[in-house]
Structure 1
């Protein structure tokens, strides 16, 4: 007992007090989190109940027989005027018993059947938030979700930490209490004494861990985030417009909305699904919450190691890849490589920096040698293009076979022989670019895939439509699987094909997994000017020609970075059978797009086209079988036309008047649209696009624009213009100063 004396008394009492404070902090956060979740559920319930009621109203009462296998007698209910399942569902047992011919058994059976149908309907209905028609109930829901979204992905980690500490401390604190005083410990029995001293030792370790990782501070910060009130209702609505996907992600998580699990998991066999579910996914270095199907995709890439992720466009393949990168970084890996077309390199750079804590290192352009050496030394995610990859020394210090002479001297110096910076994960975006194994880009990728243990190919092209192309991609990844890939699997349908190739391929479609997501997905497509673009832009700036600056990215169609990205978006939409509406302020830009896309393009619709002709163009576009493209001048095509056949919208440049964009998108994103609408806005870095967005995205202007929305504003784009008279002049002057500063002395 003498050796135990130093452990008891004041020091243990202080330790116990620290544990109590930590326990209280954990419980406080969990209580705040539960209140936030309850607020969302309370706001969601009446909206969902209304949707369920509408669905039940449309289901005839005769369907109750299906649930009871024909045993239910409905004649008396129908005679009493109960024509729908809703009428039965909302009736009480007493009310049904009052109907002549309805006994206790019939009433109970009818109610049970109606409730069973209602539960099934509740699992399928999806609450959508219409930002253009806000009402008090949806405002309450968005306001409740705001707290969870604003708290960010750190909230989930904080709650997990709180649950762990709360659960452990709930056991340790009572067990350790006898050791807080010498007399109390002395009066305890031998077993309680031993348990108390053991609990003190564990409590000391737990509080030390909490102090080292600032657990109390993190829990308190999470609680503060959950209690933070928005400045106004307008702020909440504007935030929802900007981050609607995050709001819907939180809504799906809180409401436990059930999607088709088999579809969300790409119809992979159970043994593959079990392996994927067993794969952990660390979010320490991730700054974005994942949808359930996205989490499965990231885990699939990690568990299967060398795979093709072929999700339909708009499902977030980039985010899933970043989640896999972030997990590997949390495991201690330091070097990663992304290979992509030049047109999406800037987007990858921005996404990695915005969605993770990982270091993005673009290895492109004249300074790529220095960037590559920096990546090799410091790590991070190196981002390069198919055309640059062949110049980079592979991990054994050589260039890809047959391409040694292409490596610039600077890169050879930057990466001497014997380097060991093998990427922990190689990501190849738009992997269908390497379907021809005889090309230089394909040979370069092949060399890197041979040296990397983990490889992730991304492509939105449905591989079951191109079996031979798929065999080519799998040959890079899992060559042993190639002999089992048969044409007959594809002929049997996409589900059969995906099951057959599940070890190396995962694909999900929008209609299967976006049932509760917003019908509008917005993506900013950032591009770097090509040399030709830059020359045209500089000339326009020197002339002080604001309009020429805005369309400079299309001055040389053969070398236009924006036009190249537009081609890629249209090609992917074509592969998926989606219709595309392309908008520009400039008729000349639309003519350039038309020439670039070739046959099968409708329009352009412009102010010079009579109204009747415009409608015929829209009708022909709508009636076209499968994929089609419609070109519209934004001031003409954004008003009065219904383009709900289009599920992809491309904006060739940002607009001075935001309502022009809003109306153009609204032509497709409206009642009658049965698919989510993807909006791709083509933007050029370090240009008028950058300057224009910086001004227009000022929050005060956004609030003002939202607050002043009206029927008049919706009908007439000129009714709201957040720009001022000197906007063009201001941007021109800024660009002239910036470019003058770049000139050599």
Structure 2
């Protein structure tokens, strides 16, 4: 089909007189075939969507019923602004809104004291509440509990997911063709016969010739853009033979984010506007919504909030995207780069930690048609010059950036700085190197889920690199005036969305503080570390004697339980020595250990092997290496060997597993030793978490005091050591 259309359009595009007679008939026939292909695709797509809706209906109805079952019948009174008398209905045993919603009219009218008007009002109020619940209820698909209804839904979604983002482009093209050819083809019929054309009135003749010319231009445009092939491929994808329940279930485990994203698209549902837009000021949100987003060079469909994030980066030009871990900041950045490439920009630069350089290279290649070029290692200069000459997305590391030539008069179309909290201290070499490029680039996108770890000043430093005019000098307002003023000041540059607000399909996150009573050997090691004033030794004292370690005993129990259930486990610790002890204790079940000493490419291979392992497996990770940039959603059990000095480290680590794409409930077990440094750390760190909530977690006004957390890791350690020395000195040995 595409070949014949291409041949036919060559003549139409070649200029000269408007075709009539035989040539007009040929053009009309080709246009009719293209129109038929477009209409056929739209029909197939409509049937595929209807199959999804049909399969989804019983699952949604069940969830709505569960929600209504938890709403007391008294809420019906609220829905009628107090006009409904429900005493008699309650007395008759209708305890929940679900009971009323599922009742028939005659059942309610048989209740003593309930007349026709009361029954009708009660049913109308129940329907109103049910409708509201239906709009917001989240349906989670549990792969560990096979259900015929879930299998039917996955099978219905499979062809749409398999077709990928190209299907959306094909459908959009088909809609445009249907609209235009539906008008042009009837008008062009008169031009198919010279005699009929000659006998037509002047106005009809001109309309017919214009329609033929329009059809020819449309055919040429469609052929140039590959539309016939696009339609044919999309139709073939939708007409694939049905897959087995097992195939659909396995595919869902691998690509659950695509399945859930498609569900949200089918039902035009998702997080509320405020959640997706981070509660930005109205004028900023309006400007962002008006920003177009070209998907020509993109290979991935975006969730609504992700599309908004990409538009935010484009509209506001120099921004911090502070989405919580697991929401797809990388995808949003790639979408922005793809849009700029469609506008004619040819070069882009990504700066990231070495641990995620390979992941960035993969993501750019998988999510777009842009060429990713690693600029790292001994060949970095050659790679840099190739990027300068031929374009693409250069991906380099913080430690490499300062060795590259400074930007010249043609800076990249966008600079993306991943894990941007790495440059929170403007005095460091990496921050200075990044500042050189941010100063040269018109568009800069900082990505970080933790813009503030210890002080408000860290957050200020990031914003200052992008828009220094937004914040006065420290102590003259903004942060010093409280979280509300600070948030208002940085509104044009900062966007954050949280998982619980936009990923309603995420499975549960179960967090357990596993307190263990230290063994005598644990206590002895701990006392020795305190006496030495060695803070780090105090933190790892619970693992000093592996044979008698209470924490290690509990860790083995958790791993054994996970193995019995076929679950994958990731174990985090700050200390390589602790991970080595854990590895010796667990033996063959460990697939590897990710640490700062492991090269970035080796880290990714370890994660890939962990994900590919059939059934149970254990991956060990040093929390500062494995908690950044790596996707660990294959794990559904997370074990934290000790509390961290920064709560953001723990949040990052947990979010590596509890993120978009996770299909199982994630269990997080934090191992804690009673009456030790663990206890002291938790109390102090709660204040850090509270300040992060006030200043960075929410893109809206909140109140706090900026110096409430003005404490460095070193001073925190000294404080705890001194407290423990005093406490233990007062205890009998």
RCO comparison, higher one (Cα < 8 Å, 6+): 2
User: Which one of the candidate residues 137, 155, 165 is aligned to 2:167?
Assistant: 155
Aligned to 1:146: 158
CA distance in 2, matches of 1:434, 1:108: 63
CA distance in 2, matches of 1:327, 1:597: 48
Write the distance in 1 (CA, Å) between the matches of 2:27 and 2:546: 76
Q: Does 1:131 align with 2:120?
A: no
Inter-partner Cα distance in structure 1 for 2:90 and 2:143: 40
Deviation at 1:342, TM superposition (A): 1.4
CA contact (8 A) 1:519 1:677 kept: no
Shift of 1:609: 6.0
C-alpha distance 146-205 of structure 1, shift in aligned 2 (>3 A): same
Matched with 2:469 is 480
Q: Are 1:195 and 2:207 counterparts? A: yes
Q: 107, 111, 114: which is aligned to 1:102?
A: 114
Contact 2:420 2:451 in 1 (8 A): no
What SS class does the counterpart of residue 393 from structure 2 fall into? Answer: strand
Separation in 1, partners of 2:56, 2:547: 44
Q: Which residue of 2 aligns with 1:114?
A: 126
Matching residue of 2:597: none
**TM-score, normalised to structure 2's length?**
0.70
Please point out which of 660, 667, 681 is paired with 2:616: 660
Q: TM-score, normalised on structure 1?
A: 0.69
Query: Which residue, out of 398, 401, 405, partners 1:386?
Result: 398
Q: 1:180 to 1:55 in 2, by over 3 A?
A: same
**1:13 corresponding residue in structure 2:** 25
Deviations, residues 278-302 of structure 1 (Å, cap 9, x unaligned): 1111111111111111111111001
Shift of 1:429: 1.1
Which residue in the other structure is 2:186 paired with?
A: 174
After superposition, the C-alpha distances for 1:23-59 in whole angstroms (9 at most, x for unaligned) are 1111111111111111111111100100100111121
TM-superposed deviation, 1:505: 0.8
User: Does the CA-based 8 Å contact 1:519-1:676 persist in structure 2?
Assistant: no
Distance 1:151 1:191 in 2: 45
Q: Secondary structure of 1:483's match? A: coil
In structure 2, what is the Cα distance between the partners aligned to 1:617 and 1:486?
51
Q: Would you say the 8 A contact 1:179–1:200 is kept in 2? A: yes
Deviations 1:131-169 (A, max 9, x none): 111111100111111111100111111111111111111
Whether the 8 Å contact between 2:325 and 2:652 is mirrored in structure 1 is: no
Corresponding residue pairs, total: 567
Task: Please state how far the C-alpha of 1:680 moved relative to its aligned partner.
Answer: 5.6
Instruction: Say whether residues 1:316 and 2:272 are aligned partners.
Output: no
Residue 363 of structure 1: which of 365, 375, 389 is its match? 375
Distance 1:171 1:107 in 2: 52
- Whether the 8 Å contact between 1:339 and 1:427 is mirrored in structure 2 is yes
**Whole-Å Cα distance in 2 between the matches of residues 225 and 211 of structure 1?**
20
- How far does the alpha carbon of each residue in 1:710-738 deviate from its partner, in whole angstroms, 9 at most, with x for none? xxxxxxxxxxxxxxxxxxxxxxxxxxxxx
* Structure 2 equivalent of residue 720 of structure 1: none
The change in CA–CA distance for 1:104 and 1:145 in structure 2 (over 3 A counts) is same
Cα–Cα, structure 1 residues 41 and 488, in superposed 2: closer, same or farther, change >3 Å? farther
Partner of 1:422: 411
Structure 1: how far apart are the matches of 2:129 and 2:261? Answer: 26
Assess if the C-alpha contact under 8 Å between 2:155 and 2:243 holds in 1.
no
Cα displacement (A) at 1:638: 13
Provide the rounded CA distance (Å) in 2 between the counterparts of 1:73 and 1:289: 49
Report the equivalent of 1:514: 503
> Residue 467 in 1 paired to residue 456 in 2?
yes
Secondary structure at the counterpart of residue 285 of structure 1: coil
2:39 aligned with 1:69, yes or no?
no
Single out whichever of 493-502 and 317-326 deviates more from structure 2.
493-502
Q: Report the counterpart of residue 742 of structure 1 in structure 2.
A: none
Distance 1:486 1:167 in 2: 60
Q: Which runs of 5+ in 1 are unaligned?
A: 397-419, 521-576, 582-594, 619-626, 640-649, 682-745
Query: Which consecutive residues of structure 2, in runs of 5 or more, have no partner in the other structure?
Result: 1-15, 516-533, 559-571, 590-603, 620-633, 640-650, 659-733
